[in-house]
Chains A and B, each alone.
Chain A
């Protein structure tokens, strides 16, 4: 490698890739065969950026040259920035060099659209093939599927990558038309649909023939930029739900828009990144995927946006006080998980511990459960005493007072905008 040039390219092409928030590297099953290099198992965050996000993959663009002009993207054609492109070999050397030093779990490779979709996709595929076949590399690889690429290339990509993703970017067609005139939802949905069918097909085949090769074993994911356009959380979570249910997505990522251009279609530079909102969306997403909540329990037509000042579970509980109080000594796991302040693990611990004795408030503290937060929702075979007849607003204020919100600063910042 010509060192100085590679150093510069890395700065440019990592910088351009960082707005893609996907980072996880778990949920794959590739094993190290024949004493090769690497495996994919744990999903380890090797480092954390100064903004606190996990770095587990070498996340770069193959190139930031692009024939399109999506307004929300730094790489867009009309943006006057330095352009660069890696060679196939450079990406391979970087990945292996970083992986061997235990800096990363693998590679996340995306790209601007260079020349045309297939030309770009073909290069991405060449890189994964080289890594797998020549370097015997079994680390994690997440490839971006370029919308418009041919099915043969997508198929090859699936055979060598662990995860594929096509970013929908905008939650609605309308916003996409506004900000990315060259794109439409159809171009994004089509490869998703294709990948979904292939993934299911390979999984089915694997059941009867263990020699069936892996095909994108970590599934596919997508990303939506939020706060760039005016969609509400109901629309966003509704779209996410569609992806989970219809496209069998493993993950939907929400990327709070970071203002990067002077474009009157978009929030001005200096507008704070909607971090709380992004966080609330992830919390809601989590409740839907793991806690058995229905989207409509969390947002609805009467209240299409998540509360910013409290988390969605507390929000739900306050709107549904009639379902409380819950007696943790008798209630089932499902319901205990729905109590604000008690998480997944906390609920499990409660159910385990109560087989030994009737739990008291003190026991909850010992189990590491935030009693001050959950007490409003707990009953009460004695000795839990009833927090008598507080209104939702009173409870909310008491909880807000005691949680010196970590987002307080951001929050007041944000309020000034509305």
Chain B
């Protein structure tokens, strides 16, 4: 068994796929550099991310898959599911081993698992288009904090860029400790340590003077549109899973209420 150490990036994983073939590695397991425990493995192969190798794998996949199937690999990778690297490796091995396009061969677990993972990411990135809640700061920045299960920031960037073309915004993934920032021209990736200090006095200091009013208006609106006689908590939670609540304005009680 060979442990493959890579940097955790998509290009890194693609490079690893290339090298598995290049060095004819057998029985591989993947590990990210920062989290690996090399001692457990007798064989370890370290991968240095290499654009040329990554692109060759990408081109190979692109030729053998539809547009949709090709993107599914990226989506599945972003799901960060347990062992997703191995799942994707088995899929690509099947793709390269077959003469015809196999992406719709859903009765094979290699294909189905990737589809499922891609679906998960797709679903969450769709959700995050909805569940981002911007707050306005004194200096005109709209910022939002999210904590998605999948690494979806790269997938929602364009959506927010199109939609909020005339306001500066930042969406920060507090689980992965990076964000995307739009400066009215371009979107860039920013790495930062966001203050977890969200005491109301701290927020009052950085937030626009109308911010709290709008948040309360929204909470108030959210309450008013509910029809008590139709209450259906199960459905509510199915659509708005609890794990997202702590970043959803309407689900955070107003602590300052006099």
A residues with CB within 8 A of B: 3, 6-7, 10-11, 14-15, 17-19, 32, 35-39, 42, 44-55, 58-59, 94, 97-98, 100-103, 136, 256, 258, 272-273, 275, 349, 352-353, 355-357, 359, 363, 366-367, 406
Q: A32-B165, A102-B133, A356-B104 are in contact. Are A52 and B239 (CB under 8 A)?
A: yes
Residues of A within 8 A of B223 (CB): 11
CA–CA, A122 and B233, complex, Å: 40
Residues of B within 8 A of A15 (CB): 224-225
Q: Which 6 pairs from chain A and chain B are nearest by CB?
A: A52-B235, A51-B230, A48-B239, A14-B224, A352-B104, A35-B165
Residue pair A42, B129 in contact (C-beta under 8 Å): yes
CA–CA, A3 and B214, complex, Å: 9
| Of the residues A19, A45, A256, contact of B239 by C-beta under 8 Å | A45
CA–CA, A59 and B236, complex, Å: 19
CA–CA, A10 and B220, complex, Å: 8
B201 at the interface (CB under 8 A from A): no
B63 at the interface (CB under 8 A from A): no
15 contacts between A and B (CB under 8 A): A6-B217, A17-B225, A19-B227, A32-B162, A42-B126, A44-B126, A44-B130, A45-B239, A49-B222, A51-B226, A51-B231, A52-B232, A101-B133, A355-B104, A366-B107
Residues of A within 8 A of B203 (CB): none
Residue pair A275, B234 in contact (C-beta under 8 Å): no
| Of the residues B130, B221, B240, contact of A10 by C-beta under 8 Å | B221
| Of the residues B165, B216, B230, contact of A258 by C-beta under 8 Å | B230
Q: Which B148-174 residues have C-beta < 8 A from chain A? A: 159, 162-167
B233 closest partner in A (C-beta)? A50
Interface residues on chain B, number (Cβ under 8 Å)? 54
- With A44-B129, A49-B226 given, name 16 new contacts (CB 8 A): A7-B216, A10-B224, A11-B220, A11-B224, A37-B165, A39-B162, A48-B239, A51-B228, A52-B238, A52-B239, A53-B230, A55-B225, A98-B214, A275-B230, A356-B104, A363-B106
A364 closest partner in B (C-beta)? B107
Residues of B within 8 A of A18 (CB): 224-227
Residue pair B163, A38 in contact (C-beta under 8 Å): yes
Residue pair A258, B106 in contact (C-beta under 8 Å): no
B77 at the interface (CB under 8 A from A): no
CA–CA, A287 and B135, complex, Å: 42
B218 at the interface (CB under 8 A from A): yes
Measured CB to CB, the closest approach of chain B to A140, in angstroms, equals: 12
B229 at the interface (CB under 8 A from A): yes
| Of the residues A49, A53, A100, contact of B164 by C-beta under 8 Å | A100
Residue pair A100, B217 in contact (C-beta under 8 Å): no
CA–CA, A68 and B166, complex, Å: 42
| Of the residues A35, A52, A55, contact of B166 by C-beta under 8 Å | A35
| Of the residues A45, A102, A353, A356, contact of B134 by C-beta under 8 Å | A102
Residue-wise interface mask of B (64-108) relative to A, using a CB-CB cutoff of 8 A (1 in contact, 0 not)? 000000000000000000000000000000000000001011110
Residue pair A366, B106 in contact (C-beta under 8 Å): yes
